[in-house]
Homo-oligomer: A and B are copies of this chain.
Amino acid sequence: MGDRDAVGVGLIGLGTIGTGVVRVLRKNAGVIAQRLGFPLRLVRIADLDTETDRGVDLSGIRFDSDSQALIDDPEVSIVIELIGGYGAARQLTMGAIERGKHVVTANKALLALHGKEIFDAAASAGVDVAFEASVGGGIPILRSLREGLSANRIEAIHGIINGTTNFVLSEMQETGEDFEVVLKRAQDLGYAEADPSFDVDGIDAAHKLTLLVAMAFGAELTFKDIPTEGIRSLLPVDFEAAEEFGYRIKLLAIAKVHGEGKSERIEARVHPTFVPATSLLAKVEGPMNAVAVHGDAVGPTLFYGAGAGELPTASAVVGDLMEVAREVRRGSAGRVAPLSYLPESLKRKPLVPLGDLEGRAYLCLSVRDEPGVLGHVASILGENGIGIESIFQRGSSRTGEAVPIIIFTHRTREARVRAALAEIDRLPDVTAPTRLVRVEEDF
């Protein structure tokens, strides 16, 4: 089969993932052709840095810094956008779509913030936008939501979808070290960026959750409306308590649907969570990712794999490329709605306020070890209608020293817990704001 039959591909951004894409296309060209029946031809690459040797064979590929010329190139049918960010990435993605090119991207930030504009433009132009790599790296979770589980009303999603935070949390659990120490190690190992805030503050996970919520529930959310807490405030004592009481701490992206039809509301949130140590999600260690999806017909499912990294992410990008190339060949672009629901079926749906959610909570109080403190705390919880499931205080050697009190509550509305904590944190013997970590068990 000659090159005449090939589908032409252009790649913008030859960083880690871009290099991985070239590597996978080279290494697995044989198996890719055996599956597609026609070759993919990487026609050209654009990157501002044309000097650095990436250690990958670029022979036969035009390589320069002109991304505009790339999207204009008539030999390019599919544009892979891997530069990240909102500015140039948005302009190039929209430009490619306007020129009738299909787009494959790993850019969750772009899609979380400008997805509507991009998907609407793609629908008008009759081109595909594929983005499996944007959530869960190499895990085919978006395709599974969109196609494999398409017969289901999706009821809940619980995802470990940020590898950096999962690595940090796993290490904190294992070593008992402080957040800053472990973060430094993650940075040295390449699992965390120099500026880690996107990851450790939960923003990246919230971007991804925006996409998952759209695909699961047909709900358009504004990314900024998703309650998001990162992992910076967790202390070694929290991991000791998790171990002691049979939990692991995971940064979960959680989404559920409440009600049906017109009264449908969406629960969506990103925060550190106590999950039972016996659950599959608890076993997702280091930089790995997993997404638990509960569908009304299929019941509980879980999808596990590497959430980042050169080759795992390239696996998803090239998988998308193969799918889009098939659609190009068959003239069937737009066959599947990119967000699983047809654009006209995607609706803004109200978010359930955090305070209305019910669940168990882990509380870690810092109190001076004085007689009567525990009684005060228990009374305030009781007055707010909060049942205590278990309580644990390690006494200090000296009266008056600050010690932690660990409390697990029974199921209750979060607003009650917030009200109680506001009172508790005003007690004179409470020496620091109480830490609240939510407990999730139903996945």
A60 to B298, CA, bound (A): 26
- Chain B nearest CB: distance from A218 CB in Å? 6
**Chain B residues positioned under 8 Å from A312 (CB to CB):** 297-299
Per a CB cutoff under 8 Å, which of B302, B306, B322 touches A150? B322
Interface pair A341/B34, CB less than 8 Å apart: yes
**Are A342 and B151 interface neighbours, CB within 8 A?**
no
Is B337 a contact partner of A151 (Cβ separation < 8 A)?
A: no
Q: A35-B342, A297-B138, A314-B297 are in contact. Are A147 and B280 (CB under 8 A)?
A: no
Proximity bits, A306-346, B CB within 8 Å = 1, else 0: 10010110111111011100110011100111001110010
- B306 near A298: Cβ-Cβ < 8 Å: yes
Nearest CB of chain B from residue A324's CB, rounded to whole Å: 11
Residue-wise, chain A 135-157 has the 8 Å CB interface mask toward B (1 for contact) of 00011100110011111110000
Q: Are B342 and A34 in contact (CB under 8 A)?
A: yes
* Complex interface: chain B residues within 8 A of A335 (CB): 326-327, 330, 332
Q: Which one of A132, A278, A299, A331 has the highest number of Cβ atoms from chain B below 10 Å of its Cβ?
A: A299
Are B296 and A300 within 8 A (Cβ)?
Answer: no
When chains A and B are docked, how far (Å) is the Cα of A297 from the Cα of B20? 9
Binds B, one of A24-32, A63-71, A186-194, A350-358: A24-32
Q: How far is the CB of A356 from chain B (nearest CB, A)?
A: 25
A28 touches which of B138, B278, B297 (Cβ 8 Å): B297
Identical subunits present: 2
By secondary structure, the A interface counts as: mixed
- A143, B148: Cβ atoms under 8 Å? yes
Task: List residues of chain B with CB within 8 A of the CB of A149.
Answer: 138, 140, 315, 319
A13: Cβ under 8 A from any B Cβ: no
B132 and A28 contacting across the interface, CB-CB below 8 Å: no
A326 nearest in chain B by CB position: B335
The answer to the question of A283 belonging to the interface, with a C-beta cut-off of 8 Å to chain B, is: yes
Q: How far is the CA of A306 from the CA of B295 in the complex (A)?
A: 11
Beta-carbon nearest neighbor of A215 in chain B: B35
When distances are taken between beta carbons in the complex, the residues of chain B under 8 Å from A143 are: 140, 143-144, 147-148
B323, A147: Cβ atoms under 8 Å? Answer: yes
- Is there an interface contact between A153 and B31, defined as CB atoms closer than 8 Å? yes
In the complex, chain B residues whose CB is within 8 Å of the CB of A299: 138, 305-306, 309, 311-312
Pull 26 A–B residue pairs with CB atoms less than 8 Å apart, ordered by A. A28-B297, A31-B153, A32-B151, A34-B218, A34-B342, A35-B345, A37-B342, A132-B148, A138-B149, A138-B295, A140-B140, A140-B148, A148-B319, A295-B315, A297-B311, A297-B312, A298-B305, A298-B311, A298-B315, A302-B305, A304-B304, A326-B335, A327-B332, A330-B330, A330-B332, A332-B332
Q: Which A residues contact B (CB, under 8 angstroms)?
A: 20, 24, 27-28, 31-32, 34-37, 132, 138-140, 143-144, 147-153, 218, 278, 280, 283, 290, 295-306, 309, 311-312, 314-319, 321-323, 326-327, 330-332, 335-337, 340-342, 345
Q: Shortest 6 CB-CB distances between A and B: which pairs?
A: A140-B148, A151-B318, A138-B298, A34-B345, A301-B305, A297-B315
